[in-house]
Chains A and B, each alone.
Chain A
Amino acid sequence: MVLVFAESPRGQFKKAAFEAVTYGKKLADQQGVTCVALCLGTVKDAGSLGKYGAARVLNIADASYDQFDSQTAAAAISEVAENSGATVVVLSHTSTGKSLAGRVAVRLNAGLVSGVNSLPTVQGGALRVKKSVFSGKAIAEYEITSAVKVLSLMGNALKPEAGGNDVAVESVKVSGAKGRIRVKSVKTQEGTVPLPEAEVVVSAGRGMKGPENWGMVEELAGTLGATTACSRPVADAHWRPHHEHVGQTGIAIRPNLYIAIGISGAIQHLAGVNNSKTIVVINKDPEAPFFKAADYGVVGDLFEVVPRLNEAFKKFKASH
């Protein structure tokens, strides 16, 4: 059985959970077993995971799990995995998943590969699975040989597939323990898609000259329903908030479309964005290294090109 931990930040599933269940279902089909989803605490519409392929949805409906604590969550997931005879546990490679995966692997005495981006291949009792390493500069194939295996799935690695129907939610109980972390508050930027989940990202660098010029970047992002990002020096200079910083030392992303405006394309920047499906680079310097990593390039002054591109997208949106 494949057990998928479907995370529900503040009581609601997000894309990461639907991706994980979709992945778990494909993996279960490949192995000829069932896919079971597990969620913790008070969760809205838990049964909707059935649409993404969960044959059963288990919920530990204990409100003490509403505040995330990796220690208690990992204990609960592992206990359910053991009781239900799971051979593979799937998590999301998110802030939640990253603090859980290692813990679950230790508890289950399982081999772990985190941040996988495709389905494994089966080699007897072992699984072989790939992930991006060296900050996007290479791909590594791992072999997991333990009886129980833990995988965490990279965001945007596959599209959630909602073909099935809701299923009844089964309430389960575990031994439980009191968490030691006390969450005081959670601040989120409402209305924007977080960078790791974003399918379209509009990113800008030092070529913007100063924070006062970001209006056109935001307008373009607005037209596309995109999330904004920036290069490191831009965040370091406080032109933009640090959570927008992408690259080797910032956030690594893999959107469908990455539009880079006035960014030179230094190797450390590329390290965080080179897994994007399609890259558009706008830069006035034809020698900018970013063009080597780009699919489409515009050599020109961003202050003219960006508003023009925004108009073109608006026209497109109006007619589609």
Chain B
Amino acid sequence: MKFLVCISQTPDTTAKVSFSADGAAFNAAGVQFIMNPYDEWYALVRACELRESLGGTVVALNVGPSANETTIRKALAIGADEAVRIDAEPQSAAFVAKQIAEYARAENFDLIFFGKETIDHNGSEVGAMVAEHLDLPYVSYASKLDLNGNVATLERDIEGGVETLEVDLPFVVSAAKGMAEQRIPNMRGIMTARTKPLKEVPAVAFEESAKVVQFTLPPAKAGVKLIDPEQMDELVRLLHEEAKVI
């Protein structure tokens, strides 16, 4: 089995978000970067588990500059066998999807994993785009994934429920909570990660048609109004008359 796991690098979940004065760019100074949690905790770990029980290779793929190699090595430490970095600044979901699809087309992966979304772009776009470029089925928000020969059984989170479905390999999946349990890389993993192959691939040309022109911070809250814990009628009145939410 050949598994591809697409990993992105995002600011740490506790990072304070700020932008250049003109709002054109994210201010990365002093920000700690991590592997996008869904890619790491669920997609990558499930791919490694399947490889452990069925054999095969797990390839971790990132579209990004060389500064991302620490994150990529972490994927190798968690259990990916090899890694590929497509050398480009990830400009948009469409750009990233095009790069991934061009690489994956020639490699004939049995299963391509994504996270359900990146915690910086919050797009949930790249997986669907890659599936379309490769004309493959796409199961988004999968919280469970099992393989039996060529047939996968999945559970997928839908609004207010769960859908159970089957699909034959190859296909594209995006991983949500429940698919696997987070793994902390052990010492041996960290050591072997250093010697595992990390290939650099050049990016292909792409014409951008949707891009960010301006970032802003949300308006600050006016400040909390404290209500006496004995006066819950007052809180209800405020929610009705002032906030107008009930």
Q: Do A and B bind each other?
A: yes
Q: Residues of A with Cβ closer than 8 Å to B?
A: 9, 14, 16, 68-71, 74, 93-96, 98-103, 105-107, 109-115, 128, 131-146, 149, 179-189, 192-197, 200, 224, 242-243, 245, 248-250, 252, 256-257, 267-268, 271, 274, 277-278, 280-281, 291-301, 304-305, 308-309, 311-313, 315-316, 320
The stretch of B49-57, B164-172, B185-193 in contact with A is B164-172
Q: Which residue of A lies closest to B125 (CB)?
A: A102
Instruction: Please measure, in the bound complex, the distance between the C-alpha atom of A141 and the C-alpha atom of B137, giving whole angstroms.
Output: 31
Which residues on the A side are within 8 Å of B122 (C-beta)? 115, 131-135, 252
B167-211 Cβ-contact flags toward A at 8 Å (1 or 0): 110010000011000000000000000000000000000001111
Contact call A293/B221, Cβ cutoff below 8 A: yes
Q: List 16 A-B contacts (CB under 8 A).
A: A69-B137, A71-B138, A98-B140, A99-B141, A100-B128, A103-B131, A112-B93, A115-B123, A141-B216, A183-B165, A194-B159, A248-B37, A249-B119, A268-B14, A271-B13, A295-B243
Instruction: Please measure, in the bound complex, the distance between the C-alpha atom of A136 and the C-alpha atom of B37, giving whole angstroms.
Output: 16
Q: Report the 8 A-B pairs with minimum CB-CB distance, sorted nearest first.
A: A102-B128, A194-B160, A300-B229, A111-B210, A188-B161, A111-B209, A146-B209, A102-B129
Which residues on the A side are within 8 Å of B138 (C-beta)? 70-71, 99, 103
Instruction: Please measure, in the bound complex, the distance between the C-alpha atom of A203 and the C-alpha atom of B124, giving whole angstroms.
Output: 25
Min distance, Cβ A260 to any Cβ of chain B, angstroms: 12
Known: A99-B140, A297-B225. Contact between A181 and B167, CB under 8 A?
Answer: yes
Q: Which residue of B lies closest to A199 (CB)?
A: B245
* Interface residues of chain A: helix, strand, loop or mixed (majority): mixed
**Is the C-beta of B133 less than 8 angstroms from some C-beta in chain A?**
yes
Contact call A143/B210, Cβ cutoff below 8 A: yes
Instruction: Please measure, in the bound complex, the distance between the C-alpha atom of A189 and the C-alpha atom of B160, giving whole angstroms.
Output: 6
Contact call A128/B213, Cβ cutoff below 8 A: yes
Contact call B132/A142, Cβ cutoff below 8 A: no
Contact call B159/A95, Cβ cutoff below 8 A: yes
The stretch of B1-9, B61-69, B71-79, B234-242 in contact with A is B234-242
Min distance, Cβ A288 to any Cβ of chain B, angstroms: 11
Min distance, Cβ B169 to any Cβ of chain A, angstroms: 10
**Is the C-beta of B97 less than 8 angstroms from some C-beta in chain A?**
yes
Which residues on the A side are within 8 Å of B137 (C-beta)? 69-71, 179-181
Instruction: Please measure, in the bound complex, the distance between the C-alpha atom of A280 and the C-alpha atom of B232, giving whole angstroms.
Output: 12
Contact call A297/B210, Cβ cutoff below 8 A: no
Instruction: Please measure, in the bound complex, the distance between the C-alpha atom of A94 and the C-alpha atom of B121, giving whole angstroms.
Output: 16
Contact call A106/B132, Cβ cutoff below 8 A: yes
Min distance, Cβ A178 to any Cβ of chain B, angstroms: 11
Contact call B14/A267, Cβ cutoff below 8 A: yes
**Is the C-beta of B106 less than 8 angstroms from some C-beta in chain A?**
no
**Is the C-beta of B214 less than 8 angstroms from some C-beta in chain A?**
yes
Contact call B119/A134, Cβ cutoff below 8 A: yes
Instruction: Please measure, in the bound complex, the distance between the C-alpha atom of A304 and the C-alpha atom of B231, giving whole angstroms.
Output: 12
Instruction: Please measure, in the bound complex, the distance between the C-alpha atom of A115 and the C-alpha atom of B37, giving whole angstroms.
Output: 20
Min distance, Cβ B218 to any Cβ of chain A, angstroms: 6
From A185, A196, A304, A313, contact of B236 by CB (8 A): A313
B73-111 Cβ-contact flags toward A at 8 Å (1 or 0): 000000000000000000001100100000000000000
**Is the C-beta of B156 less than 8 angstroms from some C-beta in chain A?**
yes
Known: A95-B159, A106-B97, A134-B120. Contact between A305 and B229, CB under 8 A?
Answer: yes
Q: Which residue of B lies closest to A256 (CB)?
A: B245
Which residues on the A side are within 8 Å of B158 (C-beta)? 9, 95-96, 186, 188
Which residues on the A side are within 8 Å of B94 (C-beta)? 105-106, 111-112
Contact call B163/A186, Cβ cutoff below 8 A: yes
Min distance, Cβ A276 to any Cβ of chain B, angstroms: 9
Q: Which residue of A lies closest to B130 (CB)?
A: A102
Min distance, Cβ A318 to any Cβ of chain B, angstroms: 12
Q: Which residue of B lies closest to A300 (CB)?
A: B229
Which residues on the B side are within 8 Å of A268 (C-beta)? 13-14
From B125, B141, B166, contact of A114 by CB (8 A): B125
Instruction: Please measure, in the bound complex, the distance between the C-alpha atom of A197 and the C-alpha atom of B158, giving whole angstroms.
Output: 12
Which residues on the B side are within 8 Å of A180 (C-beta)? 137, 167-168, 171
Known: A95-B158, A112-B93. Contact between A138 and B218, CB under 8 A?
Answer: yes
From A102, A145, A312, contact of B232 by CB (8 A): A312
Instruction: Please measure, in the bound complex, the distance between the C-alpha atom of A312 and the C-alpha atom of B212, giving whole angstroms.
Output: 46
Contact call A103/B129, Cβ cutoff below 8 A: yes
Instruction: Please measure, in the bound complex, the distance between the C-alpha atom of A298 and the C-alpha atom of B238, giving whole angstroms.
Output: 13
